[in-house]
Chain A
Amino acid sequence: MLNRHPNAPVADQGAARTPAVGDEEAERVVSGPREVDSRSVELACEPDLAQVSSVREFVESYYRTIIHDGDVICRMAVAAHELLENAAKYSTGGLSRLQIEIRGGANPRLLSVSVSNYADPARIDELKLAIAELGSTADAAETYQNYMSRATLRKDGSGLGLARIRAEAEMTLVLEFQGDQVCVKAVATPIPEEES
């Protein structure tokens, strides 16, 4: 399922480069502090509902090696999973791209998760409305409760994914258009001190 995006590394833009024997620079990098300011993951994959959990588990396990705050990882995982499922449900084909950025090393100060894909034009207005509603609410938890009540009346789908990101993961949602692709970005910044 996972393909390496032609213009981006698979993961870990902050990783130390592979050392070579006798390479003083490489030895200095390896023996230096592990702390880095930014850790990013970028993946391009064919959206497939059956494989979303595998992707989520990969990014969770990757960030667990760097970040000790399980709650930040959980928020990232909720956003990544729900956005990837939406892409799998509503993409019209081609690759979907997952981008995750966590800044601040072991004590994260910014968390960003985005998924871009070719979207069904018929879904765009619904997506715009949902993101506008979730962006304008003064009480994300209360709005989430309203979404939950509405979900009980729906026959198809839950309609909960974006509201869950907004309320449970405490992230704001931004809708961007990139050529023929739509990008939904979830951002949490600044992450409160007591959570990092």
Chain B
Amino acid sequence: MTQLASIMEAKFSATVIHVGDDIILEMTGNADVAAKQHLAPLLQSLHERAKQLGVTRVQVDIRKLAFMNSSCLKDLISWLDRARLEPAGSYRIVFLSSANQHWQKRSLHALSCFARDLVTVEAS
């Protein structure tokens, strides 16, 4: 396991690790204005590392994410947009969500419609 990136704000944190064929991005807290300054560069870097490392899957664990605002959703959308332009056989994206965080079901449904062939959502 290799840690690729880590962000720690008062009410938001994110870590990116590389494990086997996967990269795992875990976000916790509130993805709002404090997260916004970090998220776009973090996802750009993740995308580049995923291609370099040849991973087959990126897991985005948001089970402990209390909320994500629309500005941060835009960063996720832009990342999905870049990732779906990659040649077939590139990495897939799996969102790990919490059934207790009702907003996640609604937001992830919209994201999965945006990139149907790329995104899978798992709820626990």
List B49-82 residues whose CB lies under 8 Å from chain A. 66-67, 69-71, 73-74, 77-78, 81
B residues near A141, Cβ cutoff 8 Å: 110, 113
Contact with B along A164-196 (1 / 0, CB 8 A): 100111000000000000000000000000000
A residues near B101, Cβ cutoff 8 Å: 74
Q: How far is it, in angstroms, between the C-alpha of A50 and the C-alpha of B12 when the chains are bound?
A: 12
Q: Is the C-beta of A160 less than 8 angstroms from some C-beta in chain B?
A: yes
Cβ contact within 8 Å between B67 and A164 = no
Q: How far is it, in angstroms, between the C-alpha of A169 and the C-alpha of B77 when the chains are bound?
A: 18
Q: Is the C-beta of A161 less than 8 angstroms from some C-beta in chain B?
A: yes
List B70-108 residues whose CB lies under 8 Å from chain A. 70-71, 73-74, 77-78, 81, 100-103, 106-107
Question: Secondary structure of the B side of the interface?
Answer: helix
Q: Is the C-beta of A97 less than 8 angstroms from some C-beta in chain B?
A: no
Q: Is the interface on chain B under 10, 10 to 19, 20 to 34, or 35 or more residues?
A: 20 to 34
Given contact pairs A50-B33, A168-B107, A74 touches B69 in the complex (Cβ within 8 A): no
Cβ contact within 8 Å between B103 and A158 = no
Q: Is the C-beta of A82 less than 8 angstroms from some C-beta in chain B?
A: yes
Given contact pairs A81-B69, A82-B69, A73 touches B74 in the complex (Cβ within 8 A): no
Q: Is the interface on chain A under 10, 10 to 19, 20 to 34, or 35 or more residues?
A: 20 to 34
Cβ contact within 8 Å between B34 and A50 = yes
A residues near B103, Cβ cutoff 8 Å: 74, 77-78, 168
Q: Is the C-beta of A151 less than 8 angstroms from some C-beta in chain B?
A: yes
Cβ contact within 8 Å between B67 and A53 = yes
A residues near B102, Cβ cutoff 8 Å: 70-71, 73-74
Nearest-neighbor residue (CB-CB) of B114 within chain A: A148
B106 CB, min distance to chain A CBs, angstroms? 4
Known contacts A49-B33, A57-B66, then 6 further A-B pairs from the complex at CB < 8 Å, ordered by chain A residue: A53-B32, A152-B74, A154-B74, A160-B71, A164-B70, A164-B110
In the complex, 19 of the A-B residue pairs with CB atoms within 8 angstroms, ordered by the A residue number, are A52-B33, A53-B30, A70-B102, A73-B102, A74-B102, A74-B106, A77-B103, A82-B69, A82-B70, A85-B33, A85-B70, A144-B110, A148-B114, A151-B74, A154-B74, A158-B73, A160-B71, A164-B70, A168-B103
